């Protein structure tokens, strides 16, 4: 590929002028622009992303950082990702998924050269070194998820606190008093401290206690087998459990089967409510699961819009940081019913 210097020499202009043309700014006369574009064509110079990175510091590439090699990219995360990628594409950006574990040095190496215009961070922990690093590097970013301290954090997130309260309102409204929570076991893994689980479990414990009820929490291993084991563990803790909230799509089917194996009919004996889930995931069980559906489509879109507003300089300099929370919405299907008498 020809360099900008070669194009500049051929056209008899400065590199800066070539850069203006590559950028599409208006400061170049039509005659000069024509000389530059003719030189670009003759030399095979292409207006590509690396040239743009040099010329303008803009590549229109957004990197979505997801630790997919450490934490399964489940169907809820996928919905965030697809929605973000779609919206970026509509707004003239390319969104790529960067799956590798990104330590501080790797982040700096990737981000300091202007390769990407901005970053979306996913799978955020209560304390997350990636956030500090992005702030230090002054790379425009938005977080899907919240650290413990959100003072300086631009984010969108599921409102896990409200989701859990709404779920408990629904189940206690059906008369349930002995309610369990089944949640992924991340202790000792690199995802320990994952904010959605900590917020959901904390809210469950606090809200149950405030309601004068005992919070039963069991952790759950991967897949259907994990769900079956969680059913056994929960019944060992409280044989008369009448409702379970599960926050783990890939184990919800196994949980229902495990309850059934133990002689509990769903929903006649035990109600099951799957949270941070979706209708499609709920349909992969029998009975079809009542779910609280993650607003992945809305939040993925809003995250990218807020980021691109920053990138395009459309956000007022003194504008407040985006702090946007949406709860999961209840969709009642076949796995929840009034508490047995």
Binding site for its own copies (CB under 8 A): 1, 46-51, 53-54, 63, 68-69, 73, 78, 81-82, 85-86, 88-89, 94-101, 108-110, 112-115, 222-225, 250, 253-254, 257, 280, 283-284, 286
Cβ(140)–Cβ(117) below 8 Å: yes
In the three-class reduction of DSSP (H, G, I as helix; E, B as strand; rest coil), residue 271 is classed as: strand
Residue 98 CB, nearest approach to its own copies (Å)? 5
Q: In terms of CB distance, is 53 or 181 closer to its own copies?
A: 53
Q: In terms of CB distance, is 90 or 127 closer to its own copies?
A: 90
Using CA atoms, how far residue 291 sits from 74, 287, 295, 300, in Å, is: 16, 12, 12, 20
Cβ(258)–Cβ(228) below 8 Å: yes
Residue 166 CB, nearest approach to its own copies (Å)? 25
Cβ(226)–Cβ(162) below 8 Å: no
Q: In terms of CB distance, is 48 or 135 closer to its own copies?
A: 48
Q: In terms of CB distance, is 108 or 162 closer to its own copies?
A: 108
Residue 60 CB, nearest approach to its own copies (Å)? 10
Residue 82 CB, nearest approach to its own copies (Å)? 6
Residue 122 CB, nearest approach to its own copies (Å)? 13
CA pair distance 245, 254, nearest whole angstrom: 14
* Per-position b or e across 110-132, b if 16+ CB within 10 A of its CB: bbeebebbbbbbbbbbbebebbe
Q: In terms of CB distance, is 71 or 205 closer to its own copies?
A: 71
Residue 156 CB, nearest approach to its own copies (Å)? 19
The rounded radius of gyration (Å) of the Cα atoms in the chain is 25
Cβ(43)–Cβ(2) below 8 Å: yes
Q: In terms of CB distance, is 87 or 146 closer to its own copies?
A: 87
Cβ(312)–Cβ(329) below 8 Å: no
CB neighbour list of residue 116: distance below 8 Å, 6 or more residues apart: 59, 61, 62, 63, 110, 139
Residue 316 CB, nearest approach to its own copies (Å)? 27
Angle at alpha carbon of residue 285, lines to 283 and 290, rounded to 5° = 65
CB neighbour list of residue 302: distance below 8 Å, 6 or more residues apart: 156, 322, 324
Residue written as tokens 């959100």? 150
Q: In terms of CB distance, is 147 or 335 closer to its own copies?
A: 335
Q: In terms of CB distance, is 201 or 250 closer to its own copies?
A: 250
In the three-class reduction of DSSP (H, G, I as helix; E, B as strand; rest coil), residue 298 is classed as: helix
Residue 307 CB, nearest approach to its own copies (Å)? 16
């Amino acid at each position: 590929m020809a360099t900008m210097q070669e194009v500049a020499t051929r056209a008899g202009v400065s590199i800066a002028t070539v850069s203006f043309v590559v950028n599409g700014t208006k400061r170049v006369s039509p005659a000069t622009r024509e000389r530059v574009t003719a030189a670009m064509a003759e030399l095979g110079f292409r207006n590509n992303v690396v040239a743009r990175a040099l010329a303008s510091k803009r590549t229109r590439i957004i990197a979505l950082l997801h630790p997919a090699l450490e934490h399964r990219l489940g169907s809820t995360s996928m919905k965030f990702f697809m929605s973000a990628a779609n919206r970026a594409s509509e707004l003239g950006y390319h969104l790529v998924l960067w799956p590798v574990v990104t330590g501080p040095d790797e982040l700096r190496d990737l981000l300091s050269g202007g390769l990407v215009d901005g970053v979306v961070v996913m799978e955020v922990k209560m304390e997350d070194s990636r956030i500090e690093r992005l702030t230090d590097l002054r790379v425009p970013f938005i977080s899907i998820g919240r650290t413990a301290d959100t003072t300086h954090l631009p984010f969108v997130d599921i409102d896990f606190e409200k989701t859990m309260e709404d779920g408990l309102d629904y189940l206690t409204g059906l008369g349930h008093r002995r309610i369990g929570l089944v949640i992924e076991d991340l202790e000792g893994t690199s995802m320990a401290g994952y904010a959605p689980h900590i917020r959901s479990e904390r809210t469950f414990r606090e809200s149950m206690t405030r309601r004068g009820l005992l919070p039963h929490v069991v952790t759950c291993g991967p897949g259907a087998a994990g769900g079956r084991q969680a059913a056994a563990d929960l019944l060992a803790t409280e044989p008369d459990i009448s409702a379970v909230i599960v926050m783990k799509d890939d184990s919800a089917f196994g949980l229902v089967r495990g309850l059934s194996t133990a002689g509990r009919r769903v929903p006649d004996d035990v109600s099951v409510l799957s949270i941070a889930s979706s209708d499609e995931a709920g349909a992969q069980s029998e009975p079809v699961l009542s779910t609280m559906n993650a607003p992945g489509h809305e939040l993925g879109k809003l995250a990218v819009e807020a980021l691109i507003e920053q990138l395009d300089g459309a956000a007022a300099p003194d504008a407040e940081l985006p702090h946007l929370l949406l709860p999961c919405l209840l969709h009642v299907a076949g796995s929840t019913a009034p508490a047995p008498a």
